[in-house]
Structure 1
Amino acid sequence: MLCPPHNMEFAIALSVTDRDIDRLAELLSEAATLEIMPRFRNVSPDDVRLKSSVADVVTAADECAERLIRQRLRAMFPTALIVGEELHEEDTSGLRDLPEADLAFVIDPLDGTANFASGLPLFGVILAVVVRGQTIAGLIYNPIGQEWIIGVRGSGSFLRGSDGPQKKLQVASPKPLSHMIGGVSWEYVDEPLRSRIAMNHAKALAPLNYRCAAHEYRLLASGFGHFALYNKLMPWDHLAGVLVHREAGGYAARFDGTPYGPGIVDGGLLLAPDRESWQELRRELWADPND
């Protein structure tokens, strides 16, 4: 990696330095400390607002955390594009401009909001760094455990604790579907495919569904889960996690086998330990039960 020059924005556009990662990691921790954790288990029903459905909600913690992260990023990287889940509700231009931006940051200020609002400690803060259509870094912060999973393009993925050494992450070894643990977010899949995939999910050893992509990506990258299927592909949910998973040795592609990346919001996403496992999952989860 490059030694950080005085112009940090120029540096991150070329490569991600250790200093860059440290500052971004600290930023996610700061947002959680100041805006998320003081509100945890202190949310009234009136503080929770529905967006698209009862499974898609927002709270003041989401909005205040995103506002803080945006302010800090704008100070550090004045010309960067910043795309966040909450501001996207008001301005969709960032999503449109993301694939062409020289430097962009994609934020999910509070992933797993429904868990957070109900008092469950399964939520996280997600940040992806995108340069000219390529995700080059992904950070996922766990405010409860005060730890990060961090992936840097070409350099691997690691678990970083607040007071300990980094641990290199590795996806699970390939296994037959009957021995796999995995998640299927079939609630965002249209019929009749929804019912077919939901039924075929029973071919796996056990289900995985935390209602929180941040924790699901951690399990996949750490080797404690084998696969995940998502059909709602907003970039703040998946860009960082897909990079972390790939740098931990995993394989991911859209349902038709094409690559996933910035700017893609449809076509579904399937993650597996390797390409052969992906092909088995694609065949078995889509199989007609009547055949």
Structure 2
Amino acid sequence: MIDEFLAGGLNDVEEAVRKAAAAEIMPRFRQLAAHEIVEKNGPHDLVTVADRLAEEHLTASLTTLLPGSVVVGEEAVHADPGVLGALRGDDPVWIVDPVDGTRQFVHGDPGFATLVCLAHRGELLASWTYAPALDLMATARRGGGAWLGGERLRAGAPEPGAPLEIAISHYDFTSDEQKRVLDALSTEGIAPRPCGSAGLEYLNVARGTLAGLAFSWENAWDHAAGLLLVAEAGGASATVAGEPFRIAGGNALPFAAARDELTLRHILGLLASAG
């Protein structure tokens, strides 16, 4: 069933993502009222009516496209953490972040995205990274490459000798210990900076405009789509323990993704030295 869907249903998913953004996200971009924005776990962790309605829209459309599939969405997990159990189940699972970069969305910054990834038994099969305000749609299929606007993405390797720009977990979302470890990247030849939308940072790696990423949290909806995008563009990723990232959780953190294996090993070596 999944193989048949992958062979013929991916364009329908792209259309569903575009429709959800057009119906629930873009009409509210720069139009949010104060009561439509709520703090979840603090002043930097926001959710809006657009997040909730876009996830509901996608949940309905995606499960219709692939009968028997389930959805693990950021807002559903916030309401019921038990939803995460689907990542360890046997059903095909859609991993959804309706508005990745909610803080940017709230402040009228176009740097936000809708992230969707199809997985089965822990394996990432296909992904969609859509930035509606920037008119960018990136897709990836396991073994089928990564694409942006119909053009193949190839991460390549950073220019020898050039400083490596690395997007890292934003300090607003990190503990003192996580900051200490990430500070190991503040060294010669590395130019760390706080990340924006995780999904768009993965896209930057896949298209070769960012050397790598280092993150200290493992929410599947933030990473699944981007990890497949980077892998299919020829990039690499691993946890600080040198293991593949597991979408169901339990990873050694931080973890990193990079344009090439050499850059990844360099980033992980620095992070491990601070552990």
Distance in 1 (alpha carbons) for counterparts of 2:159 and 2:272: 18
Q: Aligned match of 1:104 in 93, 98, 119?
A: 93
**Which of 274, 278, 281 is matched with 2:260 structurally?**
274
Deviates more, 1:137-146 or 1:62-71: 137-146
Which consecutive residues of structure 2, in runs of 5 or more, have no partner in the other structure?
none
CA distance in 2, matches of 1:234, 1:210: 15
Deviation at 1:73, TM superposition (A): 1.7
Match of 2:157 among 173, 195, 214: 173
1:13-92 aligned at under 5 Å gives the runs 13=3, 16-17=6-7, 19-92=8-81
Change (3 A) 1:73 1:241: same
In structure 2, relative to structure 1, the CA distance for the partners of 1:54 and 1:158 (3 Å cut) is: same
The answer on 1:216 being equivalent to 2:201 is yes
TM-score calculated relative to the size of structure 2: 0.91
2: CA distance, partners of 1:46 / 1:177 = 50
Q: Report SS of the residue matched to 1:195.
A: helix
Shift in alpha-carbon separation, 1:285–1:109, aligned structure 2, 3 A: same
Mapped partners of 2:178, 2:220: distance in 1: 23
8 Å CA contact retained: 1:226, 1:272: yes
1:283 alignment counterpart = 269
Q: Specify the code of the residue in structure 1 equivalent to 2:126.
A: A
Pair 208,14 (structure 1): closer, same or farther in 2 beyond 3 Å: farther
Task: Give, in angstroms, the shift of residue 90 of structure 1.
Answer: 1.8
In our comparison, the structure showing a higher alpha carbon Rg is 1
Change (3 A) 1:249 1:15: farther
Secondary structure at the aligned position of 1:279 is classed as helix
Choose the corresponding residue for 1:249, options 218, 221, 234: 234
Give the deviation of 1:219 after TM superposition: 0.5
Question: Structure 1: where are the runs of 5+ without partners?
Answer: 1-9, 161-165
Distance 1:261 1:33, change over 3 A: same
The TM-score normalised by the length of structure 1 is 0.86
Note closer, same or farther for the CA distance 1:230–1:236 as it changes in structure 2 (3 Å cut). same
Matches within 5 A, 1:122-271: 122-160=111-149, 166-175=150-159, 179-185=163-169, 187=171, 188-198=173-183, 200-264=185-249, 266-268=251-253, 269-271=255-257
Report the CA distance between 1:275 and its aligned residue: 2.3
1:195 Cα deviation (Å)? Answer: 2.6
User: Match of 2:79, SS?
Assistant: coil
Of the three residues 86, 89, 103, the one matched with 1:114 is: 103
Which is worse superposed, 188-197 or 264-273? 188-197
In structure 2, relative to structure 1, the CA distance for the partners of 1:189 and 1:40 (3 Å cut) is closer
What displacement does 1:280 show?
1.3
- Relative distance call for 1:97 and 1:54 in structure 2 (3 A) is same
- With 223-232 and 51-60 compared, the bigger mean Cα shift is at 51-60
Q: CA deviation at 1:277?
A: 1.8
Aligned-residue CA RMSD (Å):
2.1
